[in-house]
Structures are given as C-alpha cells and as structure tokens.
Amino acid sequence: MIRKFLVLTLMLICFNIAAQRTSSSPYSFFGIGEQYSQSTVEQSSMGQIGVASSSNYYLNFINPAANADLRVATYSFGLLHNYLTIKDNTGSQSASSTNLKYISLGFPLGEKAGFSAGFQPISEVGYTFTNRGFDENTGDLNSITRFSGDGGVSRVFGGFGVKITDEINLGIEVDYSFGKTNNDILNQRADVQLATKYSQSSIIRGGSVKLGGQYHRQLKNNLQLDLGATLKLNNDLSATGTELLYSLTIANNGGERPRDTTFNREASGEFNSPFSTNIGAGIGKINKWYAGLEYQFADALSATGYLNRSNAAYNYESSSRLSLGGFYIPKINSINSYFERVTYRAGLRYENTGLSVNGDPTSNNFTSINDFGMSFGLGLPLGNGVSNLNIGLEYGIKGTTSNNLIQENYFNIRASLSLNAIRELAWFQKREID
C-alpha cells in the first residue's frame, strides 16, 4: 500500500512541479544560479545541521556516514515554496516560486551498513530585471537593457555508510550533476531602429565525491555525544554551449523578429568548485532532545573559458556557514496526547555565500553577499508512528541595499514525507522456506 501511494503521489507532484519550477532571485544571475542547500526538510528546519547526527528512520543528505544507522527502508520526498521580497534604494517588489526539493530512498544493508540514493535540484536560474540609462545633460531616457535567465542544475546521488565500530561510522557519497541554463541581455537605444541581443546557452555536466565520518559516544544520564565531519573533494562542472549576438526588432506585442547575426559560435568552460570541509558536534538524549553546532567552509569558486565573467562587477571569495539547531520531543510514546509525540525543531544559520558584488561601476567597492536565516519545523507522526509528515518554516535576509545592491527578504515553506516501510525490508533480505 505504501509503495502504491508513494508512486502515485510522486507522479502527481513531479508533473505539477515541472511546470512551476523557477527561481525568482536576481542573484541567480551568477554562476550556475541560486544554489539550494543539500539538506532534508528536517535538517533545514534546524538551521541545516546534520553532519554529526544520524537516525534509524530519517535520511541524512549532509553526511553519508549516517547511512550506517538506517534500520528501516525509508522513502522521502520534499517540496519548497518560496516567497521573496526584493528591495533596493528605490523600492521593492515581490514574487514566489515552487520547487521540488528532492526524491530519495534509503535502506539498511545488514546490521552495520546502509545505502541511500536520490534526485535533487541544486541550483536554479530565474531572473528578469531592467536597467535604464539616462542622458547626463537632459536627463532623458536613452537606453533600456533587460537581463533575463532560466534553467538550473540537478544531481543524482548515491551514498553508502558502514559501522567500523559501535561508535564510528564512515561513509562515501558520489553524485552526478547535470542541467541547462540560458542567459539573455537585450539592449534598446533611443533613436536606433534595431535592438541587439546577446544570448548564452550552457549545458552543464560534472560529478563530485564526498567523504564522511561520525563518532557517537554514550555518556552518563542517557546522554549521547555526536561528532561528525565531511570532506567534499575538488570537482569541476564542465559547460558546453553557444553564444549568439544578433540584431532584432521588437513588435508592439513584445515579440522579437531577428534580423542580422553578428556572431554565432560554440563555447566551453568550467566551474571549479574547491575543497569543502564541514565539521560539527551535538549532544542530546535519543528520541527526546538534541542540540548541535556546525561549521562549513571552502575556498573561492573559480571559472574558466566563457564562464569566466568575473570582472569589475563581481568576483568569488571564500565561503562559510555557521549553523545552530536542534529538536525536542515531549514524549515519543505518549498515548494520551498526539502533540506530545510531535517533533519540534528550530535553528539559526549565518552564511557567507562566496559571492562579492560591486554595485558602483565608478568605484572598486565590493560587498560580500551574506545570508541569515531563522527556521522552525514540526515532525508530525503518521500511521505506525515511524513515518512522518515534516513541515518547515524559514525567514531570512540575503544581501544588502548598501552599495547600490539588492536585499532579499524571503520566507520559505518546506514540506516532506518520510515514509518508513518496515515490512518492506523483505525486498533486501534473503527469503527462507520453512
């Protein structure tokens, strides 16, 4: 029954989201787009912590070593709905978008190992903004430039974890990323009959490897200490595509009529992602409460070939993230109160995104784009009490209005189903005949 329900639900959700999947952030202009955290809804609700923790019933996208503690087959998929308000020094506007967050499956391999696999969007391009130019002497409008883009990058991944001892887990995750992005720049000048348009289309491919480790130690008073770390190795995302520059006329209804092509050429490049380290620690009582602290850091991303658009307008720098979060369950086996069995989650996150932008072309004043978020979530038990509906809320601020830049105030609503099929473990066990 669970399998039939899962397949039907996934088909409906994927069909619906495929038509809606888009970003609304102007910062999706840079690199491979607005990047999503590679975490579950449960982890996002706790400030994205998860490198040190593990569970018998929940998947962990942050540290593959946690797969070793899986004790039941677990299906999980998540959705993200984003409300975004964009502000600058002159005004503000709002937008919203809905995205598939992930589809995944995990299951134990014997008593000391586990495996998980899934599909997950990791970045999105979806922006449209206009720059107006004015004559310095008369103040009249003399040009309009429209920037627009769409597309994104997703990944398929597989992770394996194994218990080396009762206290130590080790794991490895391998993924393959793929996608397509489109970026256009349309310029129309006053008293010029034809507009010009630069169009860039990129097909992106690449893989990465992440290594993980966890240490769990039982302390006095039923407390457990968790330590964890992951190392994501250097990896490249290659891009092949085309660059096209041509003139056109714009009809009254906004339609475009291409005229003369200046150039149409193939191009290639790479995004070089640096070595990334994530370390964390946590303490708590199993099935009662947990509190954790996590720090992730990496050197600056770099780009080569036609992707190297870093110039006087922006560049890349080292990135980092500091997260604090946890959960609380009043009474996991309560008979009298459903809400005592609910998992309550909360967290804080502060991130230097690794992007630095110069909002004033007449100066060399770069501003780091930082991101601060506060999150809260609920884990609502379903059916057998092991499966859960997880709901997460997050409010955050990204960027700043200083230095002629843009500030984003966002509100994220996340939801996921974590379905644990205890009986269906027979899929992975050898059948015996009495």
pLDDT higher than 50, residue 139: yes
The single-letter code of the amino acid at 417 is: L
Domain membership flag for residue 144 = yes
Return the bridge partners of 117, or none.
105, 158
| Overall number of domains in the chain | 1
Domain membership flag for residue 433 = no
Domain membership flag for residue 198 = yes
**20-24, 52-56, 146-150, 281-285, range with the lowest pLDDT:** 20-24
The values of phi and psi at residue 428, to 5°, are -110, 10
Contacts of 165 (CB under 8 A, 6+ apart): none
Domain membership flag for residue 370 = yes
Among 316, 61, 323, smallest CA distance to 210 is for: 61
Return the bridge partners of 389, or none.
380, 417
Domain membership flag for residue 45 = yes
Contact 419, 6 (CB under 8 A): yes
User: If you ran DSSP here, which 8-state letter would residue 57 be given?
Assistant: S
What are 405's two structure tokens?
């830049």
Largest CA distance in the chain: 95
Pairwise pLDDT comparison (73 vs 14), residue with the higher score: 73
Averaged pLDDT of the chain:
87
Q: What is the DSSP string of 230-296?
A: EEEPPEEEEEEEEEEEEEEEE-TTS-EEEEEEEEEEEEEEEEEEPPEEEEEEEEEETTTEEEEEEEE
CATH number of the domain where residue 88 is located: 2.40.160.60
pLDDT for 269 equals 87
Considering the chain, what percentage of its residues have pLDDT values greater than 70? 89
The single-letter code of the amino acid at 335 is: I
The span from the CA of 294 to the CA of 414, in Å, is 21
Range of the domain at 379: 2-428
Region 398-408: mean pLDDT is: 90
pLDDT for 268 equals 87
What are 376's two structure tokens?
């809260």
Pairwise pLDDT comparison (74 vs 4), residue with the higher score: 74
Contact 30, 126 (CB under 8 A): no
pLDDT for 11 equals 39
Domain membership flag for residue 422 = yes
b/e sequence 22-61, b meaning 16+ C-beta within 10 Å: bbbbbbbbbbbbbbbbbbbbbbbbbbbbbbbbbbebbbbb
Domain membership flag for residue 122 = yes
Region 412-418: mean pLDDT is: 95
Pairwise pLDDT comparison (143 vs 15), residue with the higher score: 143
**pLDDT, tens only, 96-121:** 888 899 999 999 999 999 999 999 99
Domain membership flag for residue 434 = no
